[in-house]
Structure 1
Amino acid sequence: MKYKKIIPLILICCLLSGCWDKVEIDRRIFISTMAVDVGRDIGKEDKFKDIKSNEIFNEKEFNKLSITYGFPDISEVEPGKTATGKEKFITIDAFSMEDGMAKMVSRSSRTLHLGHIKLLILSDELLRHPDTVKEILDYIERKPCINRMMLVVVAKGRSEDYVKYQPVMEKNIESYITGIMENSGIKSNVIPIKFNELAILLYQNGNAIIPNISFDKAKNEIYLSGVALIKNYELQGNLDSEETSALEMLRGKIKGGKEVVFKDGHPIEFEIEGAERKISLVNDNYEKGLEFKVDIKLEGQLKQYYLEEDVFEENDLKEIQSNFNDVIEKKCEKVTRITQEKYSIDPIGFREYVEKFKPKLYEKIKDDWDEVYEKANIDINVETRIRRIGTTK
């Protein structure tokens, strides 16, 4: 009988006890943005290779990275006030990401929380150092408390400057950039990528594309400006906004956007509302050069022409569609040449296609894929369909 009375008392003590490890919300720092730049000692990377594993190393003498942590002012997030606090930031010079976090903790009077990071900004200069990039990615992968669904962008210039920027419509850069990314459905020149997606692409073959952001100091504006092309964890080059739109078509992931042609001196704008892409291998003779065909089908509506002109006639619509076909094909061919011949990067997905649908062929060429890809012939065919020409005409 005694045991029957004791057991309920034990359960009550366990279930009704207070939170022993509670931390008040106003005693936390919720990191929302993490920006990584090269440090002043990044040029000494090669010297690290000479240090033996059993030697003493004074890491305080080497600041390889400069890390900026951005976080909202929690005191502003109160009932009746805005939902997002004004951005604050702390910049740390460190030898590594973990060293930076340790220094951040030592400079903070509050508990750090990394689960709400929404934006990772990497400077373009940092991406010139592939070994350091690998260390940063490895750190994030090993840190379970970091949000792996955060967006990743490449900053032209110092990424620290972007965290300090005050957007017109938002309280901080994180809300501004994520908002633009969320509107990617209507902007074909925006390719959002999350950390998990980036890690998968890089682990597959070391290649990836990451959206660029630029800072126009004269106008005090930040804007997205195409994508950065990454090969073997290193920045190889960039595509501008127009080229990025064509790349999205080639990848079969375009969700929206518009194209323009001129007729009789007037612009005709075509808004894309649907798209399909199909890759096929026409010739598998890799010694002479593989032959790929990319079929792209687009459909949408005319958004603008000229008041006195009429496009009801079937022949007129066919002519306009043909013009769009020619223009878009030329844009796609240009991007294909840039990625294939200039950078030898395959962001379109030819390698994945061969690996998935032609496994025997892939086994023969996988070790020499770069060379095979450079010699490949790629034919692009675009077919546009104008479904609607307006509500009043």
Structure 2
Amino acid sequence: MRSLALVLIALMLAGCWDNLDIERRALVLGTFVDLVSVKAGEGGEQDQFELTMEMPILRRMAARAGGGGGGGGEGQEETLPTWRLTVTGSTFAEAMRKAATRSERQLFFGHQKVLLIGQELARRRNLVEVLDFWARSRESYLDITVLLAEGRAEEIFSARPKFARSVSIFLQEQSERQIRTSRFIKHNLSEVWAALYGDRDILLSRVTVVPGQEPLELQVSGTGVIREGKLVGWLTPEETQAAHWVTGQVRGGEIIPLPVPELKRIFSLELCRVENKVKSQVIGDTPTFTVKLYITADIIEKIGSPEPLSAPILRQIEERADELIKQRVEYVIGKLQRQYQADVLGFGKKIEENNPRWWEAVKGNWRSIYAQAPVTVEVQVSIRRTGMVS
């Protein structure tokens, strides 16, 4: 009986074997990775990975959230309630082991928000290599947002976004705003990993430093073009927007300025609904594509002549919108085909779905075929509302 009582007491006192108090953990919010050259033996150099990790100083972050300080006054440099740790290694695992000896707290990646990859690293190394460590880690979650830095990722960390609690949280929150814009795209680790292992090209959001701002500010805008796992170039925010029209990754609410010279006015159109249809056809040994866009828009602003918006004028606006959107879509398709030969719009997938036998015969040479494939773009814009005044 006494033995049974001791066993029951032991069970009640038992806890998780690997439980670690939060005060003894360093919570990694974001990791910024670059490729750097370090000195090797006999005067040589070798490439290594450089990791910069951002971690919160919890007491300062709590004080800031409660309005208790954490930043300087107007004109003073903003100080974020975070600290950073930078390490290098020939592999990410080696770098992490070094980091463990540099911090008195145990690094914990369960709260990681973003993984920012530097431009040089993305150009020279396949992203499968870069993401492998995080995809295998038991602590990392597959919903980490993956972003590209224009320049060095470590330099992005040096920025001080206004009102931000941390650079990592700022980047994560900016990425979430894709619901209101299609000028960049949000991809998590799971989505990027699936694309890379499926031999698919992909767009990843670009992070840049806003020029002329002190302290440095950041923006998530435009995308990097990933072909065969490597960065081959960039799309501007407007080009990214046009690419999204083709793929149908637009939720509405996008604003485009529309100059109509013959009416001496500029209109702001809010795209309320974008429907896309992409059709493929193989004629002989030549694939052709037709992209049809059906767009419903509202006029939310008019600058210029006060003349009322009659039915003929509305038709002129619709025709001008058709023309503008068609030009932008044709341009970005041509850029992706001929400059980058990157099939991020999924034309090859359409061929595979509709002509599987032909696809099996040509998929090994698809890039060169895709680069020359004729694409026809058709756009139909319908103005739904003009607002409370005409």
Give the structure-1-normalised TM-score.
Answer: 0.87
CA contact (8 A) 2:175 2:220 kept: no
Distance 1:355 1:12 in 2: 64
Residue identity opposite 1:177 in structure 2? L
1:392 deviates by 4.0
**Which one of 221, 246, 268 corresponds to residue 217 of structure 2?**
221
* Unaligned runs of at least 5 residues, structure 1: 45-56
- Change beyond 3 A, Cα 1:182–1:149: same
CA contact (8 A) 1:63 1:94 kept: no
Write out aligned runs for 1:181-260 (5 A): 181-205=175-199, 207-219=201-213, 220-255=216-251, 256-260=253-257
Task: State the SS of the aligned residue for 2:271.
Answer: strand
**Which one of 121, 135, 141 corresponds to residue 116 of structure 2?**
121
CA contact (8 A) 1:189 1:245 kept: yes
CA contact (8 A) 2:148 2:206 kept: yes
In the alignment, which residue of structure 1 is the partner of 2:314? 317
Residue identity opposite 1:364 in structure 2? A
1:15 deviates by 3.8
- Change beyond 3 A, Cα 1:241–1:81: closer
Q: Give yes or no for the alignment of 1:111 onto 2:106.
A: yes
* Identity %, equivalent residues: 24
Distance 2:357 2:162 in 1: 55
1:354 deviates by 1.8
How many residues align structurally?
A: 370
Distance 1:286 1:72 in 2: 61
1:191 deviates by 1.1
Q: Give yes or no for the alignment of 1:87 onto 2:86.
A: no
CA contact (8 A) 2:61 2:165 kept: no
Moved more, 180-189 or 98-107: 180-189
Task: State the SS of the aligned residue for 1:305.
Answer: strand
Q: Give yes or no for the alignment of 1:284 onto 2:310.
A: no
Distance 1:285 1:151 in 2: 41
In the alignment, which residue of structure 2 is the partner of 1:176? 170
Task: State the SS of the aligned residue for 1:149.
Answer: coil
Give the structure-2-normalised TM-score.
Answer: 0.88
Task: State the SS of the aligned residue for 1:237.
Answer: strand
Q: Give yes or no for the alignment of 1:24 onto 2:21.
A: yes
Distance 1:298 1:155 in 2: 32
1:350 deviates by 0.9
Distance 1:22 1:146 in 2: 17
* Unaligned runs of at least 5 residues, structure 2: 71-79
Task: State the SS of the aligned residue for 1:190.
Answer: coil
CA contact (8 A) 1:286 1:372 kept: no
Distance 2:175 2:64 in 1: 28
In the alignment, which residue of structure 2 is the partner of 1:271? 270
CA contact (8 A) 1:163 1:172 kept: no
**Which one of 65, 71, 74 corresponds to residue 58 of structure 2?**
74
Distance 1:321 1:7 in 2: 83
- Change beyond 3 A, Cα 1:90–1:82: farther
Task: State the SS of the aligned residue for 2:198.
Answer: helix
- Change beyond 3 A, Cα 1:230–1:346: same
CA contact (8 A) 1:32 1:116 kept: yes
Distance 2:155 2:57 in 1: 19
1:286 deviates by 5.2
Distance 1:364 1:20 in 2: 56
CA contact (8 A) 2:135 2:189 kept: no
- Change beyond 3 A, Cα 1:72–1:330: same
Write out aligned runs for 1:116-155 (5 A): 116-131=111-126, 133-155=127-149
Task: State the SS of the aligned residue for 2:246.
Answer: helix
Distance 1:297 1:348 in 2: 17
- Change beyond 3 A, Cα 1:375–1:286: farther
